[in-house]
Structure 1
Amino acid sequence: MRMKRCNIKMKKITSYQTKSRNCLVLKLGGVCISPLLSPAYIILIFLPAASFLLGILGYFIFKKVWMMVVIVFILSLIFMFIVIGAEPTFFIWVAMMTGSCFVSGSITKTIWTFAKRKY
């Protein structure tokens, strides 16, 4: 059986400026990449997911739930001050990141202790 050779050529990534923001565009697909790197995307999607995963990893590393919760609280506090600034509403996001980490760590601890007892 003979393999076919793929002749798709990737074109250069170019940047252009719209009225509201700069965009990186891949000429092949024409997809704007930069909204995924915006602070809103990072705060709304990436950081809660990362804190949830850090809660799981933190329990396996430290064997305690509260250690990673404190680390996530400090890191999210620093990140929010750097990205957003000293606005009073950012504490809601810090609480959400910390709560997400605590919930995932607690769920992991419950499942892990139940699995140890069962077997």
Structure 2
Amino acid sequence: MNEEKTMTVDEALAKGFSLCIRDGYSYVEDLDDVDEEDLRDFAYWICETEPVKFTIDARTIRGLIEDYVEGREDISDESFDVIDRVKLIPETALNALAQEINKVYEDLTYWTPTSVRVIP
């Protein structure tokens, strides 16, 4: 039987953690702002110290286009003429598109909760 991993706010702060997330919520809170009453009433989970950023690359974009083309029911492509043309899209064009998409998302940061519960 696995025991739940736990850590107090002070222990978490001493180990370099600074954020947590309340069970069932999607926004993070500073560990310093969570008081003992909150910890008794709700489950809080320590968040990883490194944020996750949304990014996409040329390979993923090419794969999305291929999936879209293959999924078209209004086009019969038994000879793979349509899907083969996806391979003709220059890598430089897909890289430029990826860079533009990544710029749109560069200011968004997500914090992944760990399996460590914060306790009073």
Give yes or no for TM over 0.5. no
Structure with greater contact order relative to length (CA < 8 Å, sep ≥ 6): 2
More helix by share: 1
**Computing the radius of gyration over CA atoms, which structure comes out larger, 1 or 2?**
2
More strand per residue? 2
* TM-score, structure 2 as length reference: 0.29
